[in-house]
Structure 1
Amino acid sequence: MVVSSWHEQRLNTVEFLIKSAQHLQVSPIVKYSAFSFFADRFFSSLPTFIQRGSSSSWLLKPVTESTLQLFVLISLWISTKIHDLKPLSVASLKALADKSIKEQHFTNRNFLEAEVLFMQVLNFEIGTTNIVFSILEELWIQIKGVAKVGELINFEACMEIMDLLYEKEKTTFLYRSPRSLAASILVVSYVMTVPKQRWEFPVLAWVNFAASCKEEDIIKMVTEILNHVLEPS
């Protein structure tokens, strides 16, 4: 199946990443680093990379949905190499690919070739210190240290919000401001999961200080997130 539109395939690959991360039982930092690699950078950079003729690889001639799914697995593989003492093996990735990718059979050699190609598209830049998840987790730990109400903020809800924002293409621009987005997600989770009678903590002022963000940016982003989170399916 040739990819007819990047927009048509984005949701499919994001959902494939979520399901693959769950199947492989990777940690949240691995999952969201993979999201950063694939959804934030690789997917948006690939068209330009192809137009420049930067590679003659058969994997890009043409790009298929199966190929994009392979690159999703590569993003998870690279992420485990960064964050895990025991990274995912090619065998485990290939087993998942054989089960989940129906229209193309990929060999071990294909995985190695795809990894090199993936790194080329990313220009070999695979830093993860400034991804939304890392900042969000740090803020969550900090707020629990300064206020008892911090214990009531549901971090699972924070991750569900992140997944939803990745699934909705029109909200992916929010990931361009990782600190503001992390702070805003924490505020949204506070509003949605902390009982109203416990809202005495000035969470907005605190995240402005802790994340070094402007209050108007946080308010605008929180509003944007709530509009999409509460949007009817």
Structure 2
Amino acid sequence: MNVLIVHAHPEAKSFTAALASLARQTLQAQGHQVQTSDLYAMQWNPVASAADFSERENSDYLVYALEQRLAVKNSSLAVDIRQELDKLLWADLLILNFPLYWFSVPAMLKGWIDRVLVSGICYGGKRFYDQGGLSGKKALVSLTLGGREHMFGDGAIHGPLQDMLRPLLRGTLAYVGFEVLAPFVAWHVPYISDEARGEFLRRYAERLQHLDDEQPLEFPKLAQFDEALKPIADVSPSSP
């Protein structure tokens, strides 16, 4: 299996970085091929702009997704995007590894998503969900956060973590066709003991060794909808 780990944390000695390193070592030990994109170390540019295209269909008005499609046809994507897109297309499994910032992903990772999940390849028209351009691949989110587990859930102070991750798990990964595995969450990591951090690492390593046994989360399939994308009466869309 080919694995791409996209890691987004500014501190190389962070626990989030330890998760990325553990994933690489564990998967390589199983015989998998692993590439890592360490976005901060790469000084990745997260800003989607007209500079991402060496040719433009409309030089007066930027419609980013439309220009992506033209750039795919004309091989005019920026070099850094093309390099990351090649890694993504090579991978059978994508791991997004990051700390939760403001109920969301870090801006660095959001910029990777904006620029690398290219219209015309990853999605476009009715190429989404199970018909997305990256169908047949799997995705796993591994994240750290400062809150305690009891702070998240129905009736909890912050509400369900699933609500915060919905734009990523459904609106991004499932949308472009990934089979999305349940996220791995390391809770309260800035404040816990080394022994507790070690237990998270042990549990993550154990999980990485059995990913093939996991069932992905359920998301809508196009067969559940008609040509106008209205639900078919006798088929209920799935939700995570």
Structure with higher helix content: 1
Structure with higher strand content: 2
Specify if TM > 0.5: no
In the superposition, the TM-score normalised over structure 2's length comes to 0.21
